[in-house]
Chain A
Amino acid sequence: METKKKSSMLRKQWPFWVMIAPGMLYLLINNYGPMCGLFIAFKQIDYSKGIWKSPWIGFENFTYLFKTDAAFLITKNTILYNLLFIAVGTVMGIATGIMLSELRKKFETKFFQTVILLPYLLSWVICAYIGYAFLSKDTGLINGILRTFGMEAVDWYNDPGKWPFILLFVNVWKGLGYSSIVYMSTIIGIDRSLYESAMVDGATKLAQIRYITIPLLKSTVIMLTIMSIGRMFYSDFGLFYQMPMNSGTLYSTTQTIDTYVYRALMQQSNIGMSSAAGFYQSIVGFILVLTANAIVRKFSAENAMF
């Protein structure tokens, strides 16, 4: 009985299995295969001996991430920026998603959606130069305006205090298009009759959003947040390296784990140390995802991812 049910299911589903097979295969080769290489983090690679025969050195490759004064700074920066981005990014994403879904004309929706999405599609190098066009001390637009009004030019790239705001702004500007589309697609999927009956009951637009849209968005929000929490120990290299134009003076507010590792290893081709950094980030990320999910499950089990 059981087997019969199974085989009939397989018969019905086989096209989907075939369709998904290349993707699964790709995932296995691209994302799971390389995990075997994690042991490199514990080796001192000696090319003449090959990877397998190189000596094991325990956690020595990891020390540079923890041993120095910078360790605290980079961890703090990475985590705080990520928390900030998750909070502000989610709020802005939901707000924009709701606003987009409230647009009546199809043309308007498409137009604003495209305009908001555009930055997401730009490479960081281009974004960095757009920023540079605004912020450059010599030729920048903002300083040009300040100078015409007889004000002192601001040396943006040598003033670390301003960068948390700039980075937040740029990150939201760039990521908004994508996150708002995700939220908008969920909103569009909400049963219209809920709104209709709410309207009949005299609910205002704001009340509809407050009592229908946002509660129904909850599971999407939780899913996206858990996913971002998993990447808490990563930072967008482009944002933190390209955007500040690699300016040394800004390190106190722009240095994150990824940029630190990059700068630390630029001069040494040490694959042991670089995989140590990756290993550390992914293990911590993994633990964070499990923890976040466990917490969610405890409070509302139906919203947990697994």
Chain B
Amino acid sequence: MKLKRVAALACAAMMTVGMLAGCGGGDDAGASAGGQGAGAAGAAGGTENAGGAAAGSDDGAAANGEVEEIVFATFLSKTVDMKQIEDEINKITEPKIGVRVHIEGISMANYTNQIGLMQSGGEQLDLMGFIGTYSPWLANNQLMSMDGYIDEYGAGIKEVVGEEFLKSTTSGGSLYAVPTYNGKAAVMNIVLRKDLIEELDLPVDQLKLAANLDEYCENLDLIGEMFAKIKEAHPELVCLVPASTAPNSLLFTRVPFVDNLNDSRGVLMPGEDSTVTNLYESEDYARLLQYAYEWNQAGYILEDATTTQEAANTYVQNGRTAGYFIVGEEGQAEQITTATGVEVESIKLVQPFIATTDVNSLGFAISATSEHPEAAMKFLNEMYTNADIVNLLDWGIEGVHYEVKPDGTVDFPEGVDANTTTYGLNMDWFFGNQFLSYIWGEGRDTSVYERLDANNKSAQCTPVMGFSYDSTKVSTQIASVSNVVSEYQPGLECGAVNPETELPKFIEALNSAGLQEIIAEKQAQLDAWKAENQ
């Protein structure tokens, strides 16, 4: 009996080990095969692109024949073979700038951990993309200052991104990262089904770009009236579903023109440029929560709003909702229509306001552990100035993953679709300068990038652009405040609870969790930052 048990245990253990070994072995084989392939492709690229090299030889980098290899880590929206893209990119970059890039694609869920492990484990890592982690990475000293390299090797980046936006990734006078250049001037939109607008003759053209909270509330009043009409004509529909899950929120309760200073725990209210205050305690926030509650009472809001994990678009697709609020830019309606097959309109409700985190939430940085910062910067520069590189990263290989249509957009080639493509990341919003890339989808408006660029340039920016705050000193308080926020926020922002009774509880819980200490710390850092930078 006992013997049997031991034997069974041993067998189980062996099987487990065998499985692990199998995985490891497979990886190794793949990696080494990949390595060989890279070498071969590199060599092939060298010969094939002799002509191309001549064209770009004014850079002179390839002339001395030295090719530096860098590792570029990026998160990916799905698992794809980056090797094919890497090879095509190296065909361009090796002769032109003398850089061979190895792209380390990591799934979104593991990304931050993986980067930490690569850095602490001493693996080669030179360039890395980030999504929302600029401040913590900066605080953890995971980033290398770009000061010595940007002027010499990244001039194109400076020109594209511009002084104002580069401030967002500058700290203590040094540049630590480069933000992605895409449409930054996103604002609150109301998305509504087109058929309902037409059927009920909803006065969407009366909605205007609000310049302050009062005008924004006028918009909301008008929207409330539209919801009443929709509900009367179609009682089976809801009018709103949360467009944000985890934490669930209807989004429209975001007070316009507020600079959240990274995390909403202590903010600059509209018009304010020096005093940090508690957003949740502001009258403006209470005023917007009141709308959420009233709308919920009137039955406009999905009953499961606080718990649903479904994307808002799923509800649109299934004909369950008339619309939702979302933060978006030009082309929002088109995107939703493409995703759902339902014709919608997306109407902007406020004038754009760009805060530091709107700019530095996406971007690229050189790892503090990098031994090839110049090469990394050279490659990064290509991502902001070379349309071929951008399109390879965004859409893949021409003729294989996409083809250019007569109207200047790109789409799948014959016989390839979203299910069969071997690339299809759809991450054009991320890799470098989006405005260099093609626009996906035949028939789409190709002038949209010009409008986005114009909006970027004309939008009002926060008075404290570039202020990033280091939360390490108050990480204990942040830990408990985060829990309080996730406890109360979904209920309040989905209108499920009455703000008159719940908001004071929320504020009290925040204060006892240490929000005031966070605000004081933020204030001190802001004062120091202002003294240094303004």
Contacts and interface: CB of A to CB of B under 8 A. Distances in A.
B202 to A, nearest CB: 24
Contacts of B133: 269
B512 A47 contact: no
Interface residues of B, number: 56
Q: Which of B1, B9, B496, B513 has the most CB of A within 10 A?
A: B496
A189 interface: yes
Given A51-B120, A248-B491, A249-B497, A68 B304 contact: no
A265 interface: yes
Interface residues of A, number: 52
A255 B483 contact: yes
A247 interface: yes
A157 interface: yes
A270 B17 CA distance: 31
B17 A248 contact: no
Interface stretch (A130-138, A195-203, A225-233): A130-138
Interface string B253-272: 00000000001000000000
B476 A64 contact: yes
A108 interface: no
Nearest to A74: B483
A38 interface: no
Interface string B285-303: 0000000000000000011
A20 B486 contact: no
A264 B480 CA distance: 6
B306 interface: yes
A264 B483 contact: yes
Contact of B306 (A22, A25, A60, A158): A158
Which residue, B12, B368, B482, has most C-beta atoms of chain A within 10 A? B482
A158 to B, nearest CB: 6
A300 B392 CA distance: 71
B446 interface: no
Among A47, A49, A64, A247, chain B packs the most CB atoms within 10 A around the CB of A47
Nearest to A63: B476
Contacts of B9: 20, 23
A60 B20 CA distance: 37
Interface in A40-75: 44-51, 60, 63-64, 67-70
B472 interface: yes
Interface in B478-492: 478-480, 482-483, 486-491
Interface string B1-34: 1010011011111101110100000000000000
A122 to B, nearest CB: 17
A248 B513 contact: no
A273 B302 CA distance: 37
Nearest to B14: A22
Contact of B17 (A26, A69, A245, A271): A26
B84 interface: no
Contact of B480 (A49, A64, A157): A64
A260 interface: yes
A65 to B, nearest CB: 9
A48 B483 contact: no
A139 interface: yes
B455 interface: no
A167 B141 CA distance: 42
Nearest to A266: B482
B10 A68 contact: no
Most chain B beta-carbon neighbours within 10 Å: one of A138, A155, A245, A248? A248
Contacts of A137: 303-304
A246 interface: yes
Contacts of B140: 45-48, 269
B482 A264 contact: yes
A267 B17 CA distance: 35
Contacts of B120: 45, 47, 50-51
A35 interface: no
A246 B490 CA distance: 10
12 contacts: A16-B10, A19-B10, A20-B6, A48-B140, A48-B142, A63-B476, A138-B302, A158-B497, A245-B307, A247-B490, A267-B478, A268-B471
Which 10 A-B pairs give the minimum distances between C-beta atoms? A23-B13, A264-B479, A48-B141, A19-B10, A64-B479, A68-B480, A245-B307, A64-B476, A138-B303, A22-B17
Given A67-B480, A189-B1, A269-B140, 16 more contacts: A19-B10, A19-B11, A23-B17, A50-B120, A64-B475, A67-B476, A70-B480, A137-B303, A158-B491, A247-B306, A248-B488, A248-B489, A249-B490, A255-B483, A263-B482, A269-B113
